[in-house]
Each structure stands twice: as structure tokens, then as C-alpha cells.
Amino acid sequence: NAGVTQTPKFQVLKTGQSMTLQCAQDMNHNSMYWYRQDPGMGLRLIYYSASEGTTDKGEVPNGYNVSRLNKREFSLRLESAAPSQTSVYFCASSEEGGNQPQHFGDGTRLSIL
């Protein structure tokens, strides 16, 4: 039982390049989330998907797009990477309904030069 799997684990991009971060969960959860974590700051919500077929903006959505491909998979895309998007990105999932404990992957460490 893998839980939440994120790929890749590490990536270095040049400014202006595009990239898609992948996330898959095997817990049959309805809700999925993307966060970024920067030094000295709490996790900040980028986008979430309350259930398959829906996505909504979080606190810091600018510069990102998401796709809920199916119940298992939720991807995050950077169309034109900027140095300010250097961060650690975490995907999480939870049972439906909000206010549920979230299960996190181990993150993608992304550096943009």
C-alpha cells in the first residue's frame, strides 16, 4: 500500500520551461490537494479537488494549473516556470467532505534557475 506517490522527487528547471508534477493515491480518497512549502512558512494550498471532476483555487494559484485526471491522479502544471516557484511541492489526499485528515506524499523538490 503506497499511499500518495509523487513524481519526480527532484527537478531543476530553467526559467520559462514548463513541467508537470504527478501525484497518485491508492486509498480510494475523493479529495486531493497540492501545496507548496517554503522555508519559514507553513504549507500553502495551491489548488484542491474536492471530488473527481472538480478543481478549485487555493491560496496561491497564480502560475499553476491542475488536472484531476481520474479519482487516483491529480497533476500540477507550471506553464512558464519562474524562480519564485522554487519550492517543495506536496500532494495530499483525504476522504470526501472536508475537514478530514490529509495523507501526504514525500514531495517534489523543484529548483528554477
Name the site residues for other proteins (rule: CB under 8 A): 4, 31, 33, 35, 40-45, 48, 50, 56, 58-59, 90, 92, 97-99, 101-107
Choose among 39, 53, 29, 54: nearest CA to 104.
29
Nearest approach, Cβ of residue 18 and other proteins (Å): 24
What minimum distance in Å lies between the beta carbon of 87 and other proteins?
14
Instruction: Report which of 85, 88, 64, 83 is spatially closest to residue 74, judged by C-alpha positions.
Output: 64
CB 18 within 8 A of CB 81: yes
Query: Toward other proteins, which CB reaches closer, 48 or 64?
Result: 48
Nearer to other proteins, 85 or 105 (CB): 105
Give least dist CB 51 to other proteins, A: 10
Coil, strand, or helix at residue 7? strand
